[in-house]
Structures are given as C-alpha cells and as structure tokens.
Amino acid sequence: MKISVVSPVYYGEKLVPELVNRLHQSLSAIHPEYEIILVEDGSPDQSWKVIREICSKDPKAKGLKLSRNFGQHYAITAGLQAASGEWIVVMDCDLQDRPEEIPRLFEKCQEGFDIVYAQRKLRQDSFLKRLSSRIFYRVFGYLTDTKQDASIANFGIYHQQVIQAVLSMNDYIRYFPTMVQWVGFDSAKIDVEHSERMEGKSSYSWKSLIKLASKNIIAFSDKPLRLTVKFGFGMSVISFLIGVVYLYRYFTGQIQVMGFTSIIISTTFLSGLIILTLGIIGIYLGKTFEQSKQRPNFIVHQKLNLDE
C-alpha cells in the first residue's frame, strides 16, 4: 500500500460521504494503491451506519468502530495501527482539512522529508476558537518545554517509520502532535488552505481544552514539579528576608507586640502552598498508577474491510 489516510470520525454522519469522495479524487491522482481508514470514536449520531454503507461498496474504504468514545488521539492511534501504507496522512473528518492539499503534501515529502506538516496560515475559525487554541499552545509549549505552533494540528503526511516510532511509545496519555515532535525525523511544513466548518461545531470547548492541556502537561513534562520547587525556594528566600527585617525592627525597639495578623496570613499561605505541592505530586502519582495498569488505550468493537 502506497498511501493510507487515517481520519477519526465524531459527529461525521453528514460529512463522511463527501470526505471519502474527495479523498478518492485526490489520492487516485497520486497512486492507484491507497486506503481510507475511518475510525468511528463512539459518535452519538449515525456515523458508523454511514461508514458501514460506504465500506460495503468501496474496498478502499476501511472502518474501525471503537467500543466507546476514547478521544480523538486514541482514535488516531487505532487508525495508525491498522494503516499499511508507506506514507500515512492524518486528517480530521470535518473537511476543514482539505483532501485537495494531500498531493502537495506528498510532493513535498518526495524531497526527502519524513514528515510534512500542513500549516494553516489563515484559519477559518471563530475568534474565540483561534484565541483558545493560541492560549492552549502557548501554555502547553511553556509547561512542556516544546515548540508549539497553533497553525499546525494533526493534518500532515508521515512516513511509516515515523508512525512506527510513535506507536512504539507506550504512553497511557496520547497526544499525536507532541508525540510526532518527540520522535524527531526530518520534517518540513507547507502552507495549506483551511476551510470553514461545513457542519456542526468543534467538540473542543474551553473545558475540554483545559482538560486536554492538563493531562498532556503531566504526561509529557515534569516542569510543574520543577516550577513548584522554584516557587518554594523563592518563598523561602522571601520569608528569610522578611524574618531578618522583623528581627532588626524587634531589636531596635520598633516592634513591641508581635502581630497576630501576620502569623495567621503566613500560616494560611504556607499551608496552601504545601497542599498545592502535595496535590501536584499526587497527580503525577495517579498518572503513574494509571500507566502501571497497562490497560489498552482503546478497544476496537468492529472492523470493516480489515483483517481480523
């Protein structure tokens, strides 16, 4: 197989038929050997019914149904495990990632790159969506010590060697863009046209973005722990300096009665700091516990046009 396309499907009932048609047009212009892998991630609508109908008529279309909603990046992982192509394209099903850009991505990777990212210079999203995405990548990049680009998401083409390296990572928490960045390899990026959403709205709300960021920050970095240590050290230095000042004022007769307020404030503040530190450590321990269970990242319920 020359090219595989992996697309997680969630609320894609009305989008999948057009997605498949446009993929056929784009992929057939590159190479006759290709496959389209649609991973239904526990979608509440009739997405799986539509995928089943398409796969019954189209042998190049292949379907995976997960047993429940595991999340976008787990669905991507399921599709990557099933992909057999030398080159693998990952894209969302909402058609904001345009299938017509795939030939350009493929042409660029023939220059010797293992990864070619699709860079969305002009994103066709609402102001709030662009703002939340920019904030997410800024905070995520800072707390994970990685370079994050809000104009690049999952859409891109990846050599099989890159994908095998990503799949070899046994992380319990999956986040495809950061995992690709971690494994390295030669990469490039090209500007692509970004389309408006044809149907529905993004499933990523502020709440889900915060949850996604917090999970992946814990999974990919220990920086929160290091920041806590620095903050604790800084508070110790400040407390020592304040103590020196108060000792000086006490011995020079400027303080005759020690203040009750300062004791209460300092005790409360330090107690909160201790609880915060213990909470961060507890989160890391909890994630370690989850990893130690070695549960599967996802469960495949049904397969279509794929070997069992």
Q: Do 234 and 197 fall into the same domain?
A: no
Q: Do 196 and 55 fall into the same domain?
A: yes
**Is the confidence at residue 257, as pLDDT, over 80?**
no
The number of C-alpha atoms within 13 Å of 32 and in the hemisphere containing its C-beta is 0
- Residue-level pLDDT at 51: 93
Q: Do 95 and 119 fall into the same domain?
A: yes
**Is the confidence at residue 20, as pLDDT, over 80?**
yes
Rg (alpha carbons) of the chain, rounded to whole number: 25
- Residue-level pLDDT at 127: 64
Coil/strand/helix, residue 4: strand
Q: How close are the terminal C-alpha atoms of the chain, in Å?
A: 18
For 197-215, what is the mean pLDDT? 62
Structurally, how many domains does the chain consist of?
Answer: 2
- What the block records as the tokens of 184 is 């390295």
b/e per residue 47-59 (b: at least 16 CB within 10 A): bbebbeebbeeee
Place of tokens 């928490």: 173
The pLDDT-based confidence of 152 (bands split at 50, 70, 90) is: confident
103-139: pLDDT as tens digits = 999 999 889 999 999 887 765 556 666 666 677 777 7
Spell out the SS3 assignment of 117-169: EEEECCCCCCHHHHHHHHHHHHHHHHHHCCCCCCCEEEEEEEEHHHHHHHHCC
- Residue-level pLDDT at 8: 92
Q: Do 140 and 239 fall into the same domain?
A: no
Q: Do 236 and 255 fall into the same domain?
A: yes
Q: Do 204 and 285 fall into the same domain?
A: no
- What the block records as the tokens of 115 is 């990864």
Q: Do 89 and 12 fall into the same domain?
A: yes
Write out the residue range of the structural domain in which residue 241 sits: 223-293
**Is the confidence at residue 264, as pLDDT, over 70?**
no
Residues of the chain with pLDDT > 90, as a percent, come to: 25
Cβ neighbors of 114 (< 8 A, separation 6 or more) are 158, 159, 161, 162, 185, 186, 187
**Is the confidence at residue 150, as pLDDT, over 80?**
no
Contact 156, 192 (CB under 8 A): no
Q: Do 213 and 267 fall into the same domain?
A: no
Q: Do 228 and 213 fall into the same domain?
A: no
The number of C-alpha atoms within 13 Å of 302 and in the hemisphere containing its C-beta is 13
Q: Do 186 and 243 fall into the same domain?
A: no
Q: Do 203 and 271 fall into the same domain?
A: no
| Cα 180 from Cα 165, distance rounded (Å) | 8
- The CATH number linked to 26 is 3.90.550.10
Q: Do 244 and 171 fall into the same domain?
A: no
